[in-house]
Structure 1
Amino acid sequence: MSRTPTPTPTPTGSGSGARTGPRVPPRRRIRIGCGAGFADDRIDPAVEVAEHGRLDYLVFECLAERTVALAQLDRLRDPDAGYNEWLEERMEAVLEPCARQGTRIITNMGAANPTAAARVVTEVAHRLGLDGLRVATVTGDDVLHLVKGAQLPLLDGPYEAATANDLRDTVVSANAYLGATPITEALVQGADVVVTGRVADPSLFLAPLMHEFGWPPTDWPLLARGTAVGHLLECAGQLTGGYYADPGTKDVPDLARLGFPLAEVAEDGSFTVTKVPGSGGQLTPATVTEQFLYEVHDPAAHLTPDVTADFSHAHLTHLAEDRVAVTGITGREPPTTLKTSVGYRDGFLATGEISYAGPGAVTRARGAARIVEQRLTAAELTVTEARYDLIGVDAVHRGADATAVEPPEVRLRVAARTPTHLQARRVGREVASLWLNGPYGGAGVTRETRENIAITSVLLPRELVMPGTAVQLTVAGAGTP
Structure 2
Amino acid sequence: MSRTRAQAQAGAQVQAGAQAQVGLEVGARRRIRIGCGAGFADDRVDPAVELAEHGRLDYLVFECLAERTVALAQLDRLRDPDAGYNEWLEERMEAVLEPCARQGTRIITNMGAANPTAAARVVAEVAQRLGLDGLRIATVTGDDVLHLVKGILLPLLDGPAKTFTARDLGDAVVSANAYLGATPVAEALAQGADVVVTGRVADPSLFLAPLMHEFGWPPTNWPLLARGTAVGHLLECAGQLTGGYYADPGTKDVPDLHRLGFPLAEVAEDGSFTVTKVPGSGGRLTPATVTEQLLYEVHDPAAYLTPDVTADFSHAHLTHLAEDRVAVTGITGRERPTTLKTSVGFRDGFLATGEISYAGPNAVARAREAARIVETRLTTAEIPPTEARYDLIGLDAVHRGTGSTPTTTAEPTEVRLRVAARTDTLAQARRVGREVASLWLNGPYGGAGVARTTRENIAITSVLLPREQVPTTVTVTATAEALEP
- TM normalised by structure 2 equals 0.93
Counterpart in the other structure of 1:111: 113
Distance across 1 between alignment mates of 2:411 and 2:170: 49
* C-alpha contact 2:353 2:432 (8 A) present in aligned 1: yes
Which of the residues 133, 136, 139 maps onto 2:135? 133
Q: Distance in 2 between matches of 1:266 and 1:113?
A: 34
Aligned residue identity for 2:67: E
Among residues 470, 474, 482, which one is paired with 1:471 in the alignment? 474
- Report how far residue 255 of structure 1 moved: 0.2
Comparing 66-75 with 376-385, greater Cα deviation is found at 376-385
| Change over 3 Å in CA distance of 1:234–1:359 after alignment to 2 | same
Question: How much does 1:26 deviate?
Answer: 5.9
Counting only pairs closer than 5 Å after superposition, residues 252-401 of structure 1 correspond to structure 2 as 252-399=254-401
Q: Counterpart of 1:445 in structure 2: which amino acid?
A: V
Contact 2:342 2:462 in 1 (8 A): yes
Deviation of the 1:404 alpha carbon: 2.4
For 2:422, which of 417, 422, 431 is the aligned residue?
417
Alpha-carbon distance between aligned partners in 2 of 1:168 and 1:477, rounded to the nearest angstrom: 41
Give the residue type in structure 1 aligned to 2:174: V
Shift in Å, 1:479: 7.2
How far off is 1:478 after superposition? Answer: 4.2
Q: Quick check: 2:137–2:482 contact (8 Å CA) kept in 1?
A: no
For 1:159 and 1:49, the matched residues in 2 are separated by 46
Q: How far apart, in 2, do the equivalents of 1:138 and 1:407 lie?
A: 53
Quote the Cα distance in structure 2 between the aligned partners of 1:73 and 1:406.
44
Task: Give me the whole-angstrom Cα distance separating, in 2, the residues matched to 1:301 and 1:159.
Answer: 29
| Structure 1: segments with no counterpart, 5+ residues | 1-23
Alignment partner, residue 210 of structure 2: 208
- The yes-or-no answer on 1:123 pairing with 2:128 is no
Shift of 1:160: 2.0
Contact 2:28/2:268 (CA < 8 Å) preserved in 1? no
Contact 1:132/1:478 (CA < 8 Å) preserved in 2? no
CA distance in 1, matches of 2:399, 2:37: 35
Please give the per-residue CA displacement for 1:79-116, whole angstroms capped at 9, x wherever unaligned: 00000000000000000000111100000000000000
Identity %: 87
Counterpart-to-counterpart distance in 1, 2:184 and 2:482: 25
Output the CA distance in 2 between the equivalents of 1:192 and 1:97.
13
Which residue type is aligned with residue 179 of structure 2? Y
Q: Is the 8 A contact 1:126 1:480 kept in 2?
A: no
**How far apart are the structure 1 equivalents of 2:152 and 2:396?**
42
What is the letter of the counterpart of residue 430 of structure 2?
A: R
- In structure 2, C-alpha distance between the alignment counterparts of 1:118 and 1:367, rounded to whole Å: 54
Shift in Å at residue 379 of structure 1?
Answer: 2.1
1:406 aligns with 2:418: no
CA contact (8 A) 1:237 1:243 kept: yes
2:440 maps to 1:435: yes
TM-score by length of 1: 0.93
Specify the alignment match of 1:46 in structure 2.
48
Q: CA deviation at 1:149?
A: 1.9
Q: Contact 2:121–2:482 at 8 Å: present in 1 too?
A: no
Q: Give the aligned residue type for 2:120.
A: A
Count of equivalent residues: 456
**Are residues 178 and 257 of structure 1, via their aligned partners in 2, closer, same or farther at CA, if it must alter by over 3 Å?**
same
Instruction: Return the alpha-carbon distance in structure 2 between the equivalents of residues 160 and 338 of structure 1.
Output: 24
One-letter amino acid matched to 2:137: V
- Supply the RMSD in Å over aligned alpha carbons: 1.2
1:159 is displaced (CA, Å) by 2.2
Determine if contact 1:239/1:283 at 8 Å carries over to the other structure.
yes
The Cα offsets for residues 246-270 of structure 1, whole Å up to 9 and x where unpaired, read as: 0000000000000000000000000
Residue 433 of structure 1: how far off its partner (Å)? 0.2
Find the aligned partners of 1:25 and 1:285 in 2 and give their Cα distance: 27
Q: Aligned partner of 2:451: which letter?
A: T
Q: Which runs of 5+ in 2 are unaligned?
A: 1-25
Q: Distance in 1 between matches of 2:254 and 2:290?
A: 14
1:381 and 1:135 map into 2 onto residues whose CA distance is 52
Where does residue 6 of structure 2 map in the other structure?
Answer: none
* Residue 161 of structure 1, CA deviation: 1.1
Could you tell me how far 1:442 is from its partner in structure 2?
Answer: 0.4
Counterpart for residue 10 of structure 2: none
SS at match of 1:477: helix
2:157: which partner in 1? 155
1-structure distance, mates of 2:57, 2:401: 51
Shifted more, 373-382 versus 293-302: the winner is 373-382
Q: Distance in 2 between matches of 1:476 and 1:154?
A: 41
